[in-house]
Amino acid sequence: MDKVCLNSEAVPVAPAVGMEFDSYDDVYYFYNWYAKEQGFGVRVTNTWYRKTKERYRAKLSCSSAGFKKRTEANRPRPETRTGCPAMIKFRLMDSTRWRIIEVELDHNHLINPTSGKFYKSHKHIPLGTKRTFHLDDDHDHHHHLDAAAAQQVHKITMFRTVIVDAQDEGESQNALYSNQLKLNKGDSQAILNFFSHQQLADPHFFYVVDVNERGCLRNLFWADAKSRVAYTYFGDVVAIDTACLTAEFQVPLVLFLGINHHKQSILFGCGLLAGDTIESYTWLFRAWLTCILGRPPQVIITNQCGILQTVVADVFPRSTHCLCLFNIMQKIPEKLGVCIDYEATNAALSRAVYSSLMAEEFEATWEDMMKSNETRDNKWLQSLYEDRKRWAPVYLKEIFLAGMLPIQPSDVASFFFDGYLNEQTSLKEFLEKYDQILQTKRQLEALADLDSKSSSFEPKSRSYFVLQVSKLYTNEILRMFEREVEGMFSCFNSRQINADGPVVTYIVQEQVEVEGNQRDARDYKVCYNEAEMEVLCICGLFNFRGYLCRHALFILSQNGIKEIPAQYILSRWRKDMKRSNVDDHNGGGIHISNPVHRYDHLYRQVVKVVEEGKKSHDHYRTAVHALENILSKLHLVNVEDPNIMYKY
């Protein structure tokens, strides 16, 4: 170990896995001193104690880590934390020295060296004090931050290069390595090739790698620029698909998914996990939160899983957590198939889920279903009932779900990589065709854009409502909305039952299908406020799918309204919304005085040259000759602005 003297005038050394210290206080002093130089505060997030009350493990985080708990106070303080993932973990080794075992350097918020003196933790740093720390030889020369780099610590790192140290088949199958990815021969090289290619082709490609204490690959996360841009438009509701992990695919894949303006599934990011544990999911979710710059979705949908519920509540405390209804209903044959009265139980459960308009109806149907001994003692049904407010549609009407929760038995959900990934697909094979898969998916979106903008879809109805939205909605949303307009003809009667100021309540009767292909009249309560142009139906379709239902349209029509109020035309379904290009992801355009902007812009231009230059031998020679000329000219430039010499 080499000794490095650190004092108030020294160049800061970034924390790295393997650094060792004489005491807990030395670790805190070192990280706090580093934080002050960078421009962020430090707080102790976790401390682990033995039964002897001796500390043996700890975690220090950026002061912006996590989120404050919600308060019911009349004037709560504004949120100042961002869920920042920057931190170090360290532990006591052989009861003598403290070693850093995990590091995350990237922040999801701006930091500035000039603001360091304002943090509470820095008040405890004695200026001028000198301490000597032992640093690993291998890390020392990699982690000095020179004076030029210190000028740019305010930049949020969008991607980074990491050396992946993973075991190939054989050794990785040993129980000793259960906290690392199980990789087959060639997988680790495939990962390196994949990340290298993605980073070269896409300057805004984001990825994070997690290694265990032995330095072996444990978890991965990545997202390309188009996925990150898509999240800014369609990230209100996100589904986290863990099917590959729980079904024991060779590729332990976790997907972050959304719905675009054509009702197509879109990708916001991918992860590979060593296992479905609290630690792995916490790491993955925090990595994704960093990728989306600390802006969590309004709603997160996952499978029913105690671990996921714990981690979502911890990492996304401000998001509403719902459970995937499609996944729950798929499990009925497996969980209830052995019941003697399976058919009756299945029918009762479907009625409770899909036909209940009020919570009282759901509760009554559920109670009838649970009268038999078999269902009363069924643990799965008991857990479903306890979680009912997270998955049963009757309890979710106040939450906007963008069509991602099925509210009819005919609503189905398909796997994003269906047809490309199954239990036998290797990781190497999946990564090699990953680009092609995403390109195919995005071509479908581009074709749908073109189809919608060319107005090739001819509405069946000549309703005022359909004519209005045909100029606004994409074709797929227009088709779905037109079914509601057609459904207005099933609404054969309405009556006013109450008037409370400007709000008038109606009962709309509709002929609906019931069991045995029979039709019956059903009452729907609709509230209408003419002054505010607001309409609310008990069926909750607007929040479930993002457009007005037939019952609300029926009342608007009866009151002489010929256009849908503006608040019910959602921008996420529009075909005329202008969306930013990938190059605008960091926003604002190019500021020539900013070294970061100069670097990013030049990087993108050079990548274009590389892509053209590799096409043929002549292209290559021309590109090399042009680059040599550019370098010769740059060497002749008289550099007066020190910022231009910024070192990367």
Q: pTM value?
A: 0.67
Give residue limits of the domains in the chain.
19-68+80-122, 182-317+420-445, 324-414, 464-573, 599-626
pLDDT at residue 29, as a whole number: 87
User: Judging by DSSP bridges, how do beta strands 206-211 and 217-223 pair with one another?
Assistant: antiparallel
576-595 tens-digit pLDDT: 876 665 544 444 444 555 55
User: Which range (17-26, 155-164, 249-258, 485-494) has the least confidence?
Assistant: 155-164
Whose tokens are 């009625």? That residue is 351
How does residue 430 score in pLDDT terms, banded at 50, 70 and 90?
very high
Percentage of the chain lying above the pLDDT 90 cut: 45
What angle in degrees, to the nearest 10, is found between the helix axes of 359-369 and 342-354?
Answer: 170
Average pLDDT over residues 197-215: 85
pLDDT at residue 576, as a whole number: 83
d(CA 90, CA 17): 9
pLDDT at residue 646, as a whole number: 32
The Cα-based distances of 532 to 171, 311, 339, 529 in angstroms read 67, 40, 52, 6
410-422 tens-digit pLDDT: 777 788 999 899 9
Q: Which residues contact 586 (CB under 8 A, 6 or more apart)?
A: 158, 204, 600
Whose tokens are 């509405």? That residue is 459
Q: What residue type is assigned to position 27 of the chain?
A: V
| Signed CA dihedral, 425, 431, 436, 442: sign only | positive
Average pLDDT over residues 517-531: 89
d(CA 353, CA 370): 15
How does residue 387 score in pLDDT terms, banded at 50, 70 and 90?
very high
How does residue 125 score in pLDDT terms, banded at 50, 70 and 90?
low
Whether 238 contacts 257, CB under 8 Å: yes
How does residue 246 score in pLDDT terms, banded at 50, 70 and 90?
confident
Please give the span between the terminal C-alpha atoms of the chain, in angstroms, as a whole number: 28
Comparing 71 with 396, which gets the higher pLDDT?
396
d(CA 447, CA 462): 26
Q: Which residues contact 497 (CB under 8 A, 6 or more apart)?
A: 505, 506, 507, 525
Whether 81 contacts 55, CB under 8 Å: no
Comparing 539 with 516, which gets the higher pLDDT?
539
Q: What residue type is assigned to position 462 of the chain?
A: R
Average pLDDT over residues 57-81: 72
User: Which range (7-11, 343-347, 474-478, 633-637) has the least confidence?
Assistant: 7-11
Look at the chain and count its residues: 648
Is the pLDDT confidence value at 266 over 50?
yes
Average pLDDT over residues 473-486: 94
At residue 469's C-alpha, the angle toward residues 468 and 470, to 5°, is 95
Tell me the three state secondary structure of residue 102: strand
Whether 233 contacts 297, CB under 8 Å: no
pLDDT at residue 134, as a whole number: 37
pLDDT at residue 381, as a whole number: 93
Highest mean pLDDT among 65-69, 80-84, 425-429 belongs to 425-429
Average pLDDT over residues 545-563: 95
Q: Which two tokens stand for residue 368?
A: 């009838």
User: Which range (171-180, 439-448, 506-515, 553-562) has the least confidence?
Assistant: 171-180
Is the pLDDT confidence value at 133 over 70?
no
pLDDT at residue 603, as a whole number: 67
User: Judging by DSSP bridges, how do beta strands 55-62 and 87-93 pair with one another?
Assistant: antiparallel
Q: What residue type is assigned to position 436 of the chain?
A: Q
Average pLDDT over residues 522-544: 95
pLDDT at residue 497, as a whole number: 92
Highest mean pLDDT among 51-60, 104-113, 427-436, 587-596 belongs to 427-436
pLDDT at residue 122, as a whole number: 75
28-57 tens-digit pLDDT: 988 988 888 888 889 898 888 888 888 889
Is the pLDDT confidence value at 346 over 50?
yes
